[in-house]
Structure 1
Amino acid sequence: MKQASMTQSLRMTAIAMSIALAGCAFAPPAKPPTPPAPKSYAADPTPASSSQADGVAQRFSLGARAVPDWWRLYQSDTLNAWVAEGLQNNPSLDAAKHSLEAAHQLLRAQIGESMLPSLDAGGQATRQRALGLPSFGPPTNLYNVYAGQLQLGYNFDLFGATRHSVEQATAQVDQQSYELDAARRTLAANIVIVAINAAALAEQVSTSERLSALAHEQAELTERANRLGAASHDEVLAAQQNAATLDTSLPPLRTQAQRARHTLAVLMGRTPDQAPSNLTLSQLHLPADVPLSIPSELLQQRPDVLAAEAVVHAASAQVGVATANLFPHISLSASLGSAAFRRAALFTGAGSIWSAGVSLTQPIFHGGALLAQRKAAVASYDAALAQYRQTVLHAFEDVADSLTALNQDALTLQSAQAAATAAQESFKNTDARYRLGSAAYPTTVLGEQRWQNAKLSEIQARAARLADTAALFQAMGMAPAEAKGAAQGTR
């Protein structure tokens, strides 16, 4: 049994020494390998501009810098104020800020405790009663002890265990910093997108209510025609069914509209009863110039990618800690003080006490725990690398999807506007003929119904284009200087 234990300890020492003698770094590379840079984001090459719709053909400026406060490009002072209020008052964002500050202070504490010498002062005053020796002297001894001393301690970080531990904590603070910035930008994007959706839903409710009123009017006209023998009973039932179907669609639509307002209020840090009034889609101007960073630069702008890179750095440092734990630990301790049985003799030459020492600890046998911890750290590092690669792919996917959506949104809005314009002109012509007595009123009602239905599609298409533009700005991340400040702002 003793021989097996000695063999195991020698094997562990040999493995540890082979790591050092082979010239291998205690920790793998802190920076992940350079990921592939695609030539274009989407499967199809990025166009110079989108199709023109609503009088705007968006230009995609490849190689341009990301816009920090991109929501200002919508040219709405109200929207700008909402985003500013949300960034100031959102409780979740505020909690993330305080959590980051706590992590930063814990890092400072770790640096102070592990990398710098420690110096403590202590004092003692006791009164003791002890048994005397049985052969002579009094049966008990009663005396006072006074002592005061300074204690100094320092751990020599010969193999980098402390340095790698601090490096790991620093990388974790960087990760939280980037995650805070990602949360801040996501909050801004959510406020913009929810505001757009709330405006669109309010307009859809208004249009749907008009459609419902027209459907009921159409049902009444059909019922009158039935009484005159100009319409069948089945036509009456069909008109009534159409009106009831439209009525059924209104409550869920109103619910969605109210929920959007409530969500917007909460994002801004308000209670739902203080939800702001809706904007109108006409108050929001579609940004005509949309900057597109080249794929290789995108990775230095996305907070989620930078956070994933910080996770790799932290995992690398953890491997360094686990490796250094296989090697000796050396610490220095010293104390200087004075002790006496009388207060008057305290801090005199006769009562001076001191000690100094160096301790060395070399792990020999821990049941394979230290090697298992190192293997676990290496596996965690490999997992962090894989997660980094996945985050990079998602970043490219976000931009590709947003670009594709914008291209299609322009075509959809173009078609929806053409249909709405044609339906409106048809309704105007029919209404004019009705006023001249050359068209029946039911025909006018039917024409307005077609127009209002076309307006619904136009509202949805315009809102989708506005929201997908916000999604693309969000997918671009932050400007390089802004990204650098996110990591250094809490140092």
Structure 2
Amino acid sequence: MKRASRLMLALCATVSVAGCAVGPDSTPPKMADKLGYQAQSVRDTAGAAATGLNAPQHFVQGHDVSGTWWEIFGNAQLNALVLQALDNNQTLLGMQDALKAAWEQRRVEGASLYPSVSGQMMVTRNKTSYALSNVPFANQWLYNLHTLQLNVGYVPDLWGGNRRAIQAAGADADVQRFQVEATALTMITNLVESVLQEAAIRAQIDATTTQIETQRHTLGIITAQNRLGDTSQQDIAAQTASVAQLEASLPPLQQQLEQTRHQIAVLVGQSPDAALPVFTLDQFTFPAQLPLTLPSELLNQRPDIRAAQAQIDGAAARVGVAIANRLPNVQLSALPGQVVGKFTEFFTPSFSNWFIGATLTQPIFQGGSLLHAEREARDNLLQANELYKATVLSAVQNVADTLSALQADASALQANQKNFDAATKSLKIAQAQLRLGDVSLSTLLQAQQAQAQARVALVQAQGARFSDSVALFQALGGGWWHRNDLGMSPQEQKKLGKSLVPW
């Protein structure tokens, strides 16, 4: 039995050393030299103030993205919510479990590198016919047999098919890993966006409420003047309609605010009725500087691009598996054991028996299935390369669109600020002239409506600048390489993602 085991191990070691890995490499297409965000150089955004929402934003090209980029907005309550979401968001936790399962599948494929050993114990009661000779057990026609043996098998990885299968499973795990990173990035971005949206909606509600109060005050003045005969019922009706129009715009904003807070609660892993902090725009610091990584660096920072790279790796590995399946292979096997008539005779050398053998297999005809499987794998590799190119271009476009939005919304904010200042000045003039009887009430109503619309547009433009800043951090990958979003320690990650030790 010992000699058979030594011979089996020697054969396994010899064939393993001689093995090679067939199939193409998994290098993604080179695209870094062809990438750019804008035809012109990136410039600072428009701005009319030194600090605050009306200030310009400067892009620091080549600057790394922080793993805690949301802290740039300077709100401790937002920071706490993000950390809570990273710990409690159910979608993210589920993706982390899926990553562990993918790594375990890689280790399942890794079992092919080792011999398989199984034990077998069989007890039989036997009766041999008198017509037969050579009774196998002590010249008895009725006897028992107790068989104890090991089944040892090993398929040497001659062409690297098993290693390619492990590589493919590892690539699938990498895809899952970057899906975890993408899920974390999307969750964080949605949370920050929702918090800033809540603040912007509250600003719109405050602006609308203020306008309603102003319009109601004007309605009271017009009603008092009507008693004195200075205004008509038509003037009262027009002002009443103006007040009602503003009041009608308030419930949709309040509904949007409630829905936004519900979304925030769910993102941090709580029910919609959870107690949450209240956010307003004046609680946030507007970032005066934003990072802007080079397009070539974006290839390593975007989770979707890294996942596309892993898809190429897996597709190339599966081509190797398909090629190896068409080549000859060797299977080694051994059956050491004992056959005794009584349990007390076990482990007695004279009752031992063993078998050792090697089988060479060469596929000859399987209806073309192996050939077409290889062609399918090669077509999948071509597809993975094209999808990688599309993902890269889409990512670069995402950054370019965000830069355009930052530029455009900064200019839009300046225009809205000028419009609001002019509308406010016009309203004050109309109010003063109305008191002196120099203008009609309709002129005042028009000024009030213009100022109300300008204020709401200004608040929306302020919220858009915050939203654009968040979108840029998301487009640049969100700094996941500086965080641990996988839900396990680095030691556990190394054990599951790198090791193939079978325990």
Query: Shorter-chain TM-score category?
Result: 0.7 to 0.9
- Output one character per residue of 1:229-277: Cα deviation in whole Å (capped at 9) or x when no partner: 5555554444333333333322222111111110011011110000513
Q: Which moved more, 1:448-457 or 1:257-266?
A: 448-457
Deviation of 1:122 after TM superposition, in Å, equals 3.0
Instruction: Name the structure 2 match of 1:5.
Output: none
Instruction: Name the structure 1 match of 2:89.
Output: 90
Structure 2 counterparts to residues 323-472 of structure 1, below 5 A: 323-425=323-425, 450-472=450-472
Instruction: Name the structure 1 match of 2:125.
Output: 128
Instruction: Name the structure 1 match of 2:18.
Output: none
Instruction: Name the structure 2 match of 1:7.
Output: none
Structure 2 counterparts to residues 211-360 of structure 1, below 5 A: 211-219=211-219, 221-222=221-222, 230-231=230-231, 234-360=234-360
TM-score normalised by length of structure 1: 0.85
Letter in 1 for 2:458: E
Letter in 2 for 1:155: V
Q: Which secondary structure state, in structure 2, belongs to the residue aligned with residue 28 of structure 1?
A: coil
Deviation of 1:196 after TM superposition, in Å, equals 0.6
Instruction: Name the structure 1 match of 2:80.
Output: 81
Q: Which moved more, 1:42-51 or 1:185-194?
A: 42-51
- Output one character per residue of 1:296-338: Cα deviation in whole Å (capped at 9) or x when no partner: 1111111110011100110111111111111112111112111
Structure 2 counterparts to residues 4-15 of structure 1, below 5 A: none
Q: Which secondary structure state, in structure 1, belongs to the residue aligned with residue 60 of structure 2?
A: strand
Q: Which secondary structure state, in structure 2, belongs to the residue aligned with residue 156 of structure 1?
A: coil
Whole-angstrom CA distance in 2 between matches of 1:469 and 1:194: 13
Deviation of 1:427 after TM superposition, in Å, equals 5.3
Q: Which secondary structure state, in structure 1, belongs to the residue aligned with residue 359 of structure 2?
A: strand
Instruction: Name the structure 1 match of 2:57.
Output: 58
Q: Which secondary structure state, in structure 2, belongs to the residue aligned with residue 104 of structure 1?
A: helix
Letter in 2 for 1:152: V
Whole-angstrom CA distance in 2 between matches of 1:34 and 1:172: 22
Is the contact made by 1:303 and 1:478 (CA closer than 8 Å) also made in structure 2?
no
Whole-angstrom CA distance in 2 between matches of 1:324 and 1:172: 20
Deviation of 1:369 after TM superposition, in Å, equals 0.9
Deviation of 1:451 after TM superposition, in Å, equals 4.0
2:26 corresponds, among 16, 25, 30, to 30
Whole-angstrom CA distance in 2 between matches of 1:240 and 1:444: 14
Is the contact made by 2:32 and 2:295 (CA closer than 8 Å) also made in structure 1?
no
Deviation of 1:289 after TM superposition, in Å, equals 1.3
Q: Per the alignment, do residues 223 and 82 of structure 1 end up closer, same or farther by CA in structure 2, a change over 3 Å counting?
A: same
Q: Which moved more, 1:202-211 or 1:384-393?
A: 202-211
Whole-angstrom CA distance in 1 between matches of 2:363 and 2:383: 28
Q: Which moved more, 1:405-414 or 1:52-61?
A: 52-61
Letter in 2 for 1:189: T
Is the contact made by 2:328 and 2:361 (CA closer than 8 Å) also made in structure 1?
yes
Is the contact made by 2:184 and 2:485 (CA closer than 8 Å) also made in structure 1?
no
Is the contact made by 1:52 and 1:410 (CA closer than 8 Å) also made in structure 2?
no
Whole-angstrom CA distance in 1 between matches of 2:86 and 2:150: 49
Q: Per the alignment, do residues 75 and 432 of structure 1 end up closer, same or farther by CA in structure 2, a change over 3 Å counting?
A: farther
Letter in 2 for 1:286: F
Is the contact made by 1:127 and 1:142 (CA closer than 8 Å) also made in structure 2?
no
Whole-angstrom CA distance in 2 between matches of 1:336 and 1:209: 89
Whole-angstrom CA distance in 1 between matches of 2:250 and 2:481: 48
Is the contact made by 2:47 and 2:54 (CA closer than 8 Å) also made in structure 1?
no
Deviation of 1:429 after TM superposition, in Å, equals 6.7
Whole-angstrom CA distance in 2 between matches of 1:482 and 1:316: 29
Q: Which runs of 5+ in 1 are unaligned?
A: 1-24
TM-score normalised by length of structure 2: 0.83
Whole-angstrom CA distance in 2 between matches of 1:119 and 1:135: 36
Number of residue pairs the alignment of both structures matches? 463
Is the contact made by 2:37 and 2:396 (CA closer than 8 Å) also made in structure 1?
yes
Q: Per the alignment, do residues 459 and 55 of structure 1 end up closer, same or farther by CA in structure 2, a change over 3 Å counting?
A: closer
Instruction: Name the structure 2 match of 1:69.
Output: 68
Q: Per the alignment, do residues 50 and 26 of structure 1 end up closer, same or farther by CA in structure 2, a change over 3 Å counting?
A: farther
Deviation of 1:141 after TM superposition, in Å, equals 4.8
Q: Per the alignment, do residues 425 and 245 of structure 1 end up closer, same or farther by CA in structure 2, a change over 3 Å counting?
A: closer
Deviation of 1:29 after TM superposition, in Å, equals 2.9
Q: Which secondary structure state, in structure 2, belongs to the residue aligned with residue 145 of structure 1?
A: strand
Q: Which runs of 5+ in 2 are unaligned?
A: 1-20, 499-503
Structure 2 counterparts to residues 112-261 of structure 1, below 5 A: 113-124=111-122, 126-130=123-127, 132-134=129-131, 141-219=141-219, 221-222=221-222, 230-231=230-231, 234-261=234-261
Deviation of 1:375 after TM superposition, in Å, equals 1.2
Q: Which secondary structure state, in structure 2, belongs to the residue aligned with residue 149 of structure 1?
A: strand
Deviation of 1:46 after TM superposition, in Å, equals 1.2
Confirm or deny that 1:45 pairs with 2:41: yes
Q: Per the alignment, do residues 231 and 382 of structure 1 end up closer, same or farther by CA in structure 2, a change over 3 Å counting?
A: farther
Deviation of 1:386 after TM superposition, in Å, equals 1.2
Q: Which secondary structure state, in structure 2, belongs to the residue aligned with residue 273 of structure 1?
A: coil
Identity of aligned residues (%): 34
Q: Which secondary structure state, in structure 2, belongs to the residue aligned with residue 60 of structure 1?
A: strand
Whole-angstrom CA distance in 1 between matches of 2:386 and 2:232: 69
Q: Which secondary structure state, in structure 1, belongs to the residue aligned with residue 287 of structure 2?
A: coil
Is the contact made by 1:264 and 1:275 (CA closer than 8 Å) also made in structure 2?
no
Letter in 1 for 2:83: A
Whole-angstrom CA distance in 2 between matches of 1:321 and 1:77: 52
Is the contact made by 2:323 and 2:374 (CA closer than 8 Å) also made in structure 1?
yes
